[in-house]
């Protein structure tokens, strides 16, 4: 075990343990209490399981919105979505990331922070790109995802929340690695990039987030990434454990390569 994660000493990879209580919850009606138990039973300090945990969190949010009690059975539609997701949980232990970040030798390494948002959530993920004699390796370091507020917001505002989350994640990672030669920030929203790079009297919501991003990052390090190759996209959309197994977020972005 490393940081509470399972460590395969042969492949040198980390993965999450299948929750011990999963067999019990499969036999119970789906309630808010069961959802919370399943969500909290997945221990992942790195955050690479964030995309797969989005669905039960969204169902929890819907239950709160519908003012459903802790032990009331969820509506049929929500229960059906959960049961389909639950059936893929056996893939959890197969979703793994490399424990070793650095190659034995490297000429240079850079930090790449990707951010994204949807109507459901906003997210960020950090990759380390190492280069040695023309050979490049890209490893996921950390990821974070947050549900969109229950009060409806615009996509650009949610994208901005994702960018601010990415700026904070970069500061945390950089304080640990310290020696990255360069940090790049990738966002697929041209509106957000315009907010960050232009000095304008933005409204309070935009202005406060832009100020935080400017304080934590160099605005010249922000770049545009096409949405289809943005690995943070998956963490903003519902997926199950089998989808996560094949994802760009776990496997690395081809843009960073």
Tens-place pLDDT, residues 9-59 = 888 888 888 776 665 566 789 999 999 999 998 889 999 999 999 999 999
Q: Looking at residue 23, what is its pLDDT?
A: 57
CATH 3.30.420.10 residue spans of the chain: 104-237
Q: Is the CB of residue 255 less than 8 Å from the CB of residue 225? A: yes
Angle at 250 between CA 246 and CA 255, to 5 degrees: 95
- Of 1, 249, 228, nearest to 127 by C-alpha is 249
- Distance, CA of 238 to CA of 147 (rounded, Å): 11
Handedness of CA 44, 49, 51, 53 (dihedral sign): negative
Say if residues 88 and 18 touch (Cβ distance below 8 Å).
no
pLDDT band for position 3 (cuts 50, 70, 90): low
Q: Which CATH architecture has domain 104-237?
A: 2-Layer Sandwich (3.30)
For the sheet containing 6-8, what is the strand order?
6-8, 13-15, 96-98
Pinpoint the alpha helices (H) of the chain.
22-26, 32-41, 50-65, 76-86, 155-177, 190-197, 204-216, 241-245, 248-251
Which is nearest to 97 in space by CA: 14, 28, 163, 17? Answer: 14
Kindly state the percentage of the chain with pLDDT values over 70: 90
Would you report the helix, strand and coil content of the chain in percent, each value rounded to 5?
A: 45, 20, 35
217 to each of 113, 182, 220, 222, 238, how far by Cα in Å?
11, 11, 9, 9, 30
The 10s digit of each residue's pLDDT in 227-246 is 999 999 999 988 888 888 87
- Residue-wise pLDDT for 141-188, tens only, equals 999 999 999 999 999 999 999 999 999 999 999 988 877 789 999 999
**3 state DSSP class of 112:** strand
Residue range 91-101: average pLDDT?
82
Across the range 77-87, mean pLDDT stands at: 93
């Amino acid at each position: 075990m490393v940081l509470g994660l399972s460590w395969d000493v042969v492949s040198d990879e980390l993965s999450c343990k299948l929750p011990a209580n999963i067999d019990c919850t499969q036999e119970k009606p789906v309630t808010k209490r069961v959802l919370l138990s399943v969500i909290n039973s997945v221990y992942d300090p790195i955050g690479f399981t964030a995309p797969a945990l989005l669905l039960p969190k969204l169902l929890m949010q819907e239950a709160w919105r519908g003012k459903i009690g802790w032990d009331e059975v969820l509506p049929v539609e929500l229960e059906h979505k959960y049961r389909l997701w639950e059936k893929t949980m056996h893939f959890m232990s197969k979703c793994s990331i490399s424990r070793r970040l650095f190659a034995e030798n490297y000429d240079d390494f850079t930090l790449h922070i990707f951010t994204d948002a949807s109507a459901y959530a906003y997210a960020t993920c950090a990759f380390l790109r190492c280069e040695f004699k023309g050979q490049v390796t890209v490893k996921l370091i950390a990821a974070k995802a947050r549900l969109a507020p229950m009060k409806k917001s615009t996509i650009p505002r949610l994208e901005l929340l994702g960018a601010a989350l990415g700026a904070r994640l970069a500061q945390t990672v950089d304080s640990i690695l310290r020696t990255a030669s360069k940090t790049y920030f990738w966002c697929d929203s041209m509106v957000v990039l315009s907010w960050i790079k232009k000095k304008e009297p933005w409204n309070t919501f935009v202005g406060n987030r832009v100020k935080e991003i400017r304080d934590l990052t160099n605005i010249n390090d922000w770049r545009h990434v096409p949405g289809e190759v943005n690995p943070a996209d998956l963490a903003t959309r519902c997926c199950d454990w089998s989808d996560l197994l094949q994802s760009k977020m776990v496997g690395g972005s081809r843009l960073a390569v």
